[in-house]
Structure 1
Amino acid sequence: MKRKRTHPRRPITFTVGSSAPTTNNSPSSPTKKRKLSTTQRINEFHALTKRLAHIQKQIQSTNQSQGQLNNHDDNNEETSISHGTTNGTLEDEAARVKEAIEALGGLHAYQRASLKGGDESKGRGACGKWLVGMLNKYVVPSRDGMGSRKSEEKEESAKKVDRLKLLDIGALNGATYAKQRAWIDAEYVDLNPQHANVIRQDFFERPLPRNKADLFDVLCLSLVVNFVDDPERRGIMLMRARQFLVPSGLLFIVLPLPCTKNSRYMTHERIVEICKAIGFEEIEFHFTKRLSYHLWRRVEGHNTKKAVSVEKKMVNPGAARNNFSIIVK
């Protein structure tokens, strides 16, 4: 008896405005032990860093409360000792979480695990390849007709025009766009560089642009937003990203698929709502088995001085879902 032939599931790509299929299949679990080990390492690292951030907030809140009580009654020794004991317990717990993070190998091990799953055929390498295709579709054709030419002609023509300036936040290998260097001028930055071509920098501390020379045509946040441990800081990161883009510049975001497909507080529609509030329009999105890609264009005429607020809201209830969210204030 012949075994029925099966076909691998194909990734789904949408151009905004087109009809999208109604299926909503969850990503399949990796079958190879090596991939599962990498996934577990990344997930555990995220869980620990989130726990550490929560404890640090509790410590800060306790310190503030203790300071207020001490100001109210400097002689209340018993209250002061009680709060000090609570704070010490939290600090001990924070130390244990830090030890657990170090036992995993720390941030470098997390990055190596991400890089391990990010070769040219899967993971982050595929993200860069998809973005290059979108740049050829949306940006390059407007630059001296480059989009309709063969690759070698395109690169030769690119030398006659300004190269696209691209800022890659959270870069790992510093070579994602090396093959497109003739028409893409890429700057790679990360908190803990793993490659000589990557600059050590915290995007939250990067000086805001002072002139046009400091702006970029494209800004990439590939598997970066989900790594930020606080929902409000995720919103701040997206708002900062807009400030670094030229008019009508592009923002490329990559998230783990469960962030958009299996969160209580986030769906694709919710992400669109958030990006509109910040001053972006989504022009393309793409789902793979593990990731979701989102390409946004900066909208001009958006009133950045007007108060913007997108609160945390339950949109997809379920006991087995995660708590990923983005808050804009």
Structure 2
Amino acid sequence: MGKLKKKQPITKVSKQEGPGFKHSRAETAKLIRRYHLLNKQLAQCKSDKSSKTQITREKEKAIIKEMEMLGGLDWYQKASQLGQSKSRGGDSSKWLIQTLRSTLCADELKEAAKPIRILEVGAVAPDNYKQHERWIKVEPIDLNPQHESIRKQDFLTMAPPATEDSKFDIVSLSLVVNFVGDPEDRGTFCV
């Protein structure tokens, strides 16, 4: 029987994996995981009010520098776009559509008085639900949109819906909660 490979912790990503790195599945996943780890470390440094020492400030600068070497938020999002491409399995809307279809019967979907409203937080592509627009209405938002049809919006600072008609039926947070570095802010997503 073959040996199982032990997953190695992510400690460093080489400089060559920045903006010009090859777009293999493994390298894209490695970039995304490293960026998440750095983002959490940065949030931890910023939230540690008791020790705003020179060492903490230097650690923050080093983290920011490494994030920039990886290509920054812009490149992280390009890697996310690669990750949700059809050749790599597609985006999470496929799962949500299947779940809705298996939960709601076909007659309920056809006879719905109004479409299901989805707020897609951390949207990578604006048209993930396009073929279902007859029964789904999506509002895609992101901190750093990569498409003009995605609204620039921080979910954590978003005003609650003003009217009953403007409320969302579903909030999609695919790969968003793990991106937020501060544990309290991650909890806010779940409230």
Same fold (TM over 0.5): yes
- 2:14 corresponds to: none
- 1:55 corresponds to: 45
**Distance of 2:23 and 2:137 partners within structure 1:** 38
- 2:124 corresponds to: 172
Greater relative contact order (Cα < 8 A, sep 6+) = 2
**Distance of 2:137 and 2:158 partners within structure 1:** 19
Return the index of the structure with the highest Cα Rg.
Answer: 1
- 2:12 corresponds to: none
Measured against aligned partners, the alpha-carbon deviations of 1:53-86 in whole angstroms (never above 9, x if no partner) come to 122123x2235xxxxxxxxxxxxxxxxxxxxxxx
Give the alignment partner of residue 219 of structure 1, picking from 159, 171, 175: 171
- 1:90 corresponds to: 56
Measured against aligned partners, the alpha-carbon deviations of 1:21-67 in whole angstroms (never above 9, x if no partner) come to xxxx99x99xx981111111111111211221122123x2235xxxx
| Matched-pair identity in % | 34
Question: What TM-score comes out, normalization by structure 2 length?
Answer: 0.81
Shift of 1:232: 2.5
Give the alignment partner of residue 46 of structure 1, picking from 36, 45, 59: 36
Shift of 1:108: 1.2
Shift of 1:126: 4.3
Which deviates more, 180-189 or 209-218?
Answer: 209-218
Aligned pairs (5 A) from 1:275-314: none
What SS class does the counterpart of residue 172 from structure 1 fall into?
A: coil
- 1:67 corresponds to: none
Shift of 1:142: 5.5
**Distance of 1:189 and 1:33 partners within structure 2:** 25
- 2:78 corresponds to: 112
- 2:97 corresponds to: 132
Q: Answer 1 or 2: which has greater strand percent.
A: 1
Shift of 1:107: 0.8
Measured against aligned partners, the alpha-carbon deviations of 1:282-308 in whole angstroms (never above 9, x if no partner) come to xxxxxxxxxxxxxxxxxxxxxxxxxxx
Aligned pairs (5 A) from 1:153-302: 161-239=113-191
Q: How many residues align?
A: 174
Question: What TM-score comes out, normalization by structure 1 length?
Answer: 0.49
Unaligned runs of 5+ in 2: 9-21
**Corresponding letter in the other structure for 1:93:** K
Q: Answer 1 or 2: which has greater helix percent.
A: 2
Structural RMSD (CA): 2.6
Measured against aligned partners, the alpha-carbon deviations of 1:106-162 in whole angstroms (never above 9, x if no partner) come to 011111111111113535x2421121122122235352x63xxxxxxxxxx66xx31
Change in CA separation of 1:204 and 1:126 when aligned onto 2, cut-off 3 Å: closer
Change in CA separation of 1:133 and 1:121 when aligned onto 2, cut-off 3 Å: farther
Which deviates more, 88-97 or 98-107?
Answer: 88-97
What SS class does the counterpart of residue 208 from structure 1 fall into?
A: coil
**Distance of 1:36 and 1:188 partners within structure 2:** 27
**Distance of 2:168 and 2:105 partners within structure 1:** 15
